[in-house]
């Protein structure tokens, strides 16, 4: 459910590594998405509640508040519970994936295997639902 429609759908990227954040947000903006960036979990949650994006890309290992905690809060809050969330992370072990999926994420993408192109495809796929 999107409440804002600006340039394209709004995507919230919560990633603590600045370089990575830059790469992904640049690519997404090139594809016509509106990107909001957040560098930690607290910021990310606040932006999500404020801006109500169409999709949230969430890293797990974040300072102050980790990705799992952020997702839990997102799902608890009525405004944000329906926003699709995709994990973008280096954690790849089965149990980590399972934890993430059990919390309600739509997908779990490993940064190592990710190319910007694959990322865009994923985004479009999920937004299409």
Partner 1 sequence: MSVFAIVSIIFLEILTAVIAASAAFVLAKEHGERRTSHLAYFATSFAVASACFFSLFIAQVFAGHGHEASAVFAHRGSLALMALGTFFGVLGLVRIYRGAKYGLLDGLAGASLVLSLVAVVVVDAPLTSVAGVTFLFLRPEHLIAMQSVYILSLTFLLALPGKVLAQKPKTDTPVSALFFAAGIFGLLFIAVSVAGAALKLQLAAPFSLLAICCSAACLITASLAADHPDAEVRKKPFTLFSRSLVFKSVGLNTLVMWALALFLLGLTSAYFVSLNLRNRETGLRRDLLYFSKSYAGSGLQLLADAAKIADSDEVASLLAGQPDASDLDGLVNRTFGKAVIGRGVRVVGADGHVLYSTKPDEEGAPLSPSRVLERALLGTETAAIEKDENFNVWVLRAAVPVRHADGTVIAIVLATHVDIIFDFSDYNELSPIEAVGYGFVSEHGEHVYSVGASVDAVTRTTLLRAIGRFPSATHRTDDSVYFEQRVYSTDGAPNGFFYIFLTREVLDREAFRVIATVTIFSVLAMIIVNVILLFGMSVVLRPLRDLQEAARRIETEEYGKRIEYSSPDELGRLAAAFNHMQDTIEDRTVRLKAALREQQDALDNTMRELRTPLSIFRWTLEMMRYGDTGKLNKEQLELVEQLHQTNERVFRLVQNFQDAMRIERRRLVLNLVETAVEDVIDEAAGNVAVTSRQKNIVLHWKRPETPLRRAWADRTYLLKIIENLLSNAVKYTGGNGHVEVTVEESGRSSPNGREGKFLLVSVEDNGMGIPKDDQPRVFSRFFRGRQAMEGDVEGAGLGLYITKQLVELHGGEMWFRSKEGVGTTFSFTIPADRPLPDDAIDTPHSPPRT
User: Could you list the residues that contact partner 1 (CB under 8 A)?
Assistant: 40-43, 45-46, 49-50, 60-61, 64-68, 73, 76-77, 90-91, 93-96, 98-100, 102
Token pair in block for residue 43: 């910021």
Q: What is the number of alpha carbons within 13 Å of residue 98 lying toward its C-beta?
A: 3
Task: Tokens 């865009």: give the residue.
Answer: 120
> Judged by CB, which is closer to partner 1: 10, or 33?
10
Shortest gap between Cβ of 114 and partner 1 (angstroms)? 18
> Judged by CB, which is closer to partner 1: 47, or 122?
47
In 3D, which of 21, 27, 24 has the Cα closest to residue 43?
21
Shortest gap between Cβ of 128 and partner 1 (angstroms)? 29
> Judged by CB, which is closer to partner 1: 99, or 106?
99
Shortest gap between Cβ of 90 and partner 1 (angstroms)? 8
Rounded (to 5) percent helix, strand, coil in the chain: 45, 20, 35
Measured CA to CA, the distance from residue 68 to residue 99 in angstroms comes to 8
- Residue 65 CB neighbour total at 10 angstroms: 17
Shortest gap between Cβ of 31 and partner 1 (angstroms)? 28
> Judged by CB, which is closer to partner 1: 28, or 48?
48
């Amino acid at each position: 459910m999107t409440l804002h429609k600006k340039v394209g759908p709004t995507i919230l990227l919560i990633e603590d590594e600045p370089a990575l954040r830059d790469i992904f947000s640049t690519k997404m903006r090139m594809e016509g998405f509106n990107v909001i960036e957040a560098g930690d979990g607290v910021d990310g949650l606040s932006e999500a509640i404020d801006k109500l994006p169409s999709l949230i890309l969430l890293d797990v290992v974040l300072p102050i508040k980790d990705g799992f905690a952020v997702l839990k809060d997102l799902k608890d809050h009525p405004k944000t519970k329906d926003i699709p969330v995709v994990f973008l992370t280096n954690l790849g072990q089965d149990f980590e994936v399972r934890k993430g999926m059990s919390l309600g994420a739509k997908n779990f993408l490993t940064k190592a295997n990710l190319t910007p192109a694959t990322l865009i495809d994923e985004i479009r796929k999920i937004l299409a639902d």
